[in-house]
């Protein structure tokens, strides 16, 4: 291997590890050539002694219990309903291998370690707040997944958007990975999956002479970033959204809000054990409540718990 780079030689010699992982270990000083730490690009002369000390990788702790405060709205032997705060990642992934909702669930409910994804059946974006249901048994997880597939789980969101939206409407546009930016999703993608979002405007407002609207959205499908992508495709991006910003006015830079203004405020489903329709309501967190006066809105403009739950149990939904 004389003349080869150190990282390439390691990749050939240790095929069970990725080249990227080996390079990370070299840069961390966990690889020694003739007793000395060196660089990944170091060119071997031949005849050297190489010692490597494998290091734990962040993903090895992805399913480790962590004491993370959880706002438990409801729990029984079958399900757990969580009010997720903004900023909390739901499931471990690249860049967030710890400190997630899953880690917190494993700490508070150790029995979830026997379930796929610790009982998580659906997700919210990191900076989206609101209600989520988690299965506590394999039977409950199967039942919830089937309900999600059958589109019988009711998920309602409050979204604050730029612009004066129609009174109500329905967005039918596939959602798939953006071909130019793999970190984004796009509406109308030929490779995307069918997606449908119902919405209705609850109240109009203004921020520095620019119209804003508070809309209630109901998901018929649950694609990644669906509401954010669908509303942006109509020309109504969410306030504070750092990614989907088309037609966002320049005054947004002075808006005192640093995340997409999206909150999952109502959740309804058929209980996996009792088969009864159950539902929950959660008002927006303080950051969204503090935003209301800046938009010419008040608490009275928000849906009220009694009316929302009554509508759910009567089978009503936006635009129906």
198/235 Cα distance (integer angstroms): 16
Q: ∠212-218-222 over CA atoms, to 5°?
A: 115
End-to-end CA distance of the chain, in Å? 70
Which DSSP state fits 235? T
31/37 Cα distance (integer angstroms): 6
- Give the residue numbers annotated as catalytic, written as ranges: 125
Which DSSP state fits 277? E
Cβ atoms of 186 and 176 within 8 Å: the answer is: yes
If we measure between CA atoms, which residue out of 78, 217, 101 comes closest to residue 155?
A: 217
223/195 Cα distance (integer angstroms): 7
């Amino acid at each position: 291997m004389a003349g080869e780079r150190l990282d390439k030689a390691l990749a050939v010699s240790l095929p069970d590890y990725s080249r990227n992982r080996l390079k990370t270990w070299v840069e961390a000083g966990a690889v020694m050539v003739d007793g000395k730490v060196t660089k990944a690009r170091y060119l071997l002369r031949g005849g050297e002694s190489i010692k490597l000390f494998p290091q734990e990788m962040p993903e090895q702790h992805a399913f480790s219990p962590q004491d993370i405060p959880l706002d438990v709205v409801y729990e029984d032997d079958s399900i757990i309903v969580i009010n997720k705060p903004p900023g909390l990642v739901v499931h471990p992934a690249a860049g967030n291998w710890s400190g997630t909702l899953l880690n917190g669930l494993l700490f508070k409910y150790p029995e979830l370690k026997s379930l796929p994804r610790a009982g998580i059946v659906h997700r919210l974006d990191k900076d989206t707040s609101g209600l989520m249901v988690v299965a506590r048994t394999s039977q409950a997880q199967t039942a919830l997944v089937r309900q999600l597939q059958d589109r019988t789980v009711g998920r309602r969101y409050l979204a604050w958007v730029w612009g004066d939206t129609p009174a109500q409407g329905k967005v039918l546009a596939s959602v798939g990975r953006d071909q130019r930016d793999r970190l984004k999703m796009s509406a109308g993608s030929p490779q995307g999956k069918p997606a449908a979002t119902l919405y209705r405007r609850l109240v109009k407002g203004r921020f520095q002479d620019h119209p804003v609207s508070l809309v209630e959205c109901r998901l018929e499908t649950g694609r990644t970033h669906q509401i954010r992508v669908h509303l942006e495709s109509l020309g109504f991006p969410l306030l504070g959204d750092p990614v989907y910003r088309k037609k966002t006015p320049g005054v947004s830079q002075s808006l005192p809000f640093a995340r997409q203004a999206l909150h999952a405020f109502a959740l309804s489903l058929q209980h996996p054990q009792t088969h009864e329709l159950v539902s929950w309501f959660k008002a927006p967190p303080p950051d969204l409540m503090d935003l209301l006066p800046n938009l010419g809105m008040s608490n009275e403009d928000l849906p009220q718990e009694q009316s929302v739950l009554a509508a759910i149990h009567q089978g009503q939904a936006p635009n129906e």
